[in-house]
Structure 1
Amino acid sequence: MNSRTDEGRTRWVFDGRIAGIGTASGTRLVLGCWTHSPFGPFGDVMIERRDGHRVLLAPDSRTARFIAATYVFDEVRVEPVRVTVEGDRWTVASDSLTLRFTTGRRGPPGLVLRAVPRALAIRPRWIEAVGLPARLLRGVRTRGTAGGGRHEWYGAQDLHPVRSAGAVLEGVDLGPPAAVVPPVRFGFGSTPRRPCLVRVTTTVEERREG
């Protein structure tokens, strides 16, 4: 999952799912649940409060350092992030956060994304060549410049709406689900405006001199 090309580039590939959920309190949550990655399976949560304070929850210092070098946060917390999936029901638990949500049946965007062969959908050149994934995800940017001079591509392959959700952060109920508004500001792009779960392969590339 971690390789260097002949052109002096290092690429890290993360395969899994991203859920973006807004709340009535104004806090927005982005869950990353990675089944395959250079660090093994893990979950992380990016949180932006109403006042713009950005927090990363990562399960260990190694993943925390990598994510914090790729995105921008005001606070990084290393704490276990446990993700449990039972059918369409998801539960995320850490020292700071409890998040539960339920997904619905995929609609037309999910059907179109699934129609693209995975081997093609995850290729950076394909992502750069077509604007379809971004249009399907309502203006979401699928490629851009990440932190530390890194470049990043999101190869979306499926999408399910989130039909119910609830979250408690540091003992405070965040209220019912809402649109991810304003967009989160961890990197070059946000998640879709409507709460959803996206099947995605994320490629992060670092180009080295010499």
Structure 2
Amino acid sequence: MGTRWIFDGHIAGIGTASGLRAVLGLWQQSPFGAFADAMVELPAGRRILLAPTDEAADFIAAVYNFDEVRVVAVSARQADGLLSVDAGNLRVRARLGARTALGAAARLIPTAVAVHPRWLRAVSPLAGVLSPGVRTAGTAGAGRREYYGVTDLHRIDAATVSWDGLDAGPLSAVRPAVGFGFSSVPPRPGLARVRTTVEAGPVTRR
């Protein structure tokens, strides 16, 4: 059996009217301890990783595709219906909304099933139908496989986003889809409770 890395926490997907899109990871548990990171795609398409340590940056950059990797101070907080992230040139302040229909459906599935690679391989095609651009299983960098097990999903109803001190414009759909890996976040901005599993080595029967 190959090596397995598990990241447990939240992923937020945010789009702006200017075309800047961001995927924010807030990890309560990971091989690198608790940390947060940000993947930013600028309006012209340049993809930038903002990570807090060399170790985390090297791992994430090996799994996803970026044009630039920056190791910067990253702070993130989610509480009382608000999400705030400061990472290098990126500043996000977002207000969370109600649980979505997909979030309600995800909560009906036992967690052990919802995050299992066998289940995630089976439902990946359906995920793309329900939420265009989204897949729950696919191939990552360096011959690895990756799985996204979502157990809850809330809307993001409003956000202010700035890059290099400039306002990126009002909250908007995540369009076009981000191009960091095999899956995008849902087009509608949201915050997902998720367990991400990355596997290396031979695919084993489960």
Q: Shorter-chain TM-score category?
A: over 0.9
1:165 corresponds to which of 149, 159, 180: 159
Write out per-residue CA displacement over residues 150-192 of structure 1, whole angstroms, 9 at most, x where no aligned residue.
Answer: 1100001000010000111111110101111000000011000
1:176 aligns with: 170
TM-score under structure 1 normalisation?
Answer: 0.92
- Is 1:198 equivalent to 2:203 in the alignment? no
1-structure distance, mates of 2:155, 2:130:
13
2-structure distance, mates of 1:135, 1:199:
20
1:146 corresponds to which of 137, 140, 147: 140
Write out per-residue CA displacement over residues 89-111 of structure 1, whole angstroms, 9 at most, x where no aligned residue.
Answer: 01111231110101111021111
What is the Cα-based RMSD across aligned positions, in Å? 1.3
How many pairs are equivalent? 201
Displacement of 1:133: 4.4
- Is 1:47 equivalent to 2:40 in the alignment? yes
1:64 aligns with: 57
Displacement of 1:137: 3.4
Displacement of 1:134: 4.4
Cα–Cα, structure 1 residues 45 and 168, in superposed 2: closer, same or farther, change >3 Å? same
2-structure distance, mates of 1:108, 1:168:
30
Tell me the secondary structure at the aligned position of residue 187 of structure 1: coil
Tell me the secondary structure at the aligned position of residue 51 of structure 1: coil
Q: Does the CA contact (< 8 Å) of 2:123 and 2:136 recur in 1? A: no
2-structure distance, mates of 1:98, 1:55:
14
What amino acid is aligned across from residue 146 of structure 1 in structure 2? A
Aligned identity (percent) is 51
1:185 aligns with: 179
What amino acid is aligned across from residue 65 of structure 1 in structure 2? D
1:14 aligns with: 7
Q: Does the CA contact (< 8 Å) of 2:133 and 2:177 recur in 1? A: no
TM-score under structure 2 normalisation?
Answer: 0.94
Cα–Cα, structure 1 residues 139 and 78, in superposed 2: closer, same or farther, change >3 Å? closer
Structure 1: give runs of 5+ residues left out of the alignment. Answer: 1-6
- Is 1:29 equivalent to 2:22 in the alignment? yes
Displacement of 1:135: 4.2
Q: Does the CA contact (< 8 Å) of 2:11 and 2:192 recur in 1? A: yes
Displacement of 1:139: 4.6
Q: Does the CA contact (< 8 Å) of 2:138 and 2:145 recur in 1? A: yes
What amino acid is aligned across from residue 193 of structure 1 in structure 2? P
2-structure distance, mates of 1:189, 1:112:
20
1-structure distance, mates of 2:108, 2:128:
15
